Amino acid sequence: MALNHINVTVGTNPTLLLTMPNGVGYVAVQIQNRDTAPVYLGDSAITVASGVNGGQILAPSATVQIWMHGNDSIYAISTAGTTAGAVCLVYSA
């Protein structure tokens, strides 16, 4: 297994952060928000509003660990868009 990192610019529409490769078992993924505004994590229907499609808030400078399985995807959205490459993901697969 190799260590992988991805830097993503998150927009005002759901932005794909990562789709875990097919056949991968459960993998811990670290996601850090290096922007000055929060981003919201969830599926492809994510919004910045509260309610049924509201995402998990990832505050500026915060890091969260999630577990993903092969073919799982995670998305993010921002109210104003982030700076280039502001969301960083690190995982081993």
Question: What is residue 67's predicted lDDT score, i.e. its pLDDT?
Answer: 97
Which CATH number does the domain housing residue 55 bear?
Answer: 2.60.120.770
Count of the separate structural domains present in the chain = 1
Which residues share a beta bridge with 47?
54
For residue 73, what pLDDT is reported? 97
Domain boundaries, position 28? 3-92
Burial call 28-59: b when 16+ CB within 10 Å, e when fewer: ebebbbbbeebbbbbeeebebeeeebebeebe
What is the predicted pLDDT for the residue at 55? 87
Give the pLDDT confidence score for residue 20 in this predicted structure: 94
Is the Cβ–Cβ distance between 58 and 27 less than 8 Å?
no
pLDDT per residue, tens digit, the chain (93 aa), is 689 999 999 999 999 999 999 998 899 999 999 999 999 999 999 988 777 678 899 999 999 999 999 999 999 999 888 899 999 999 997
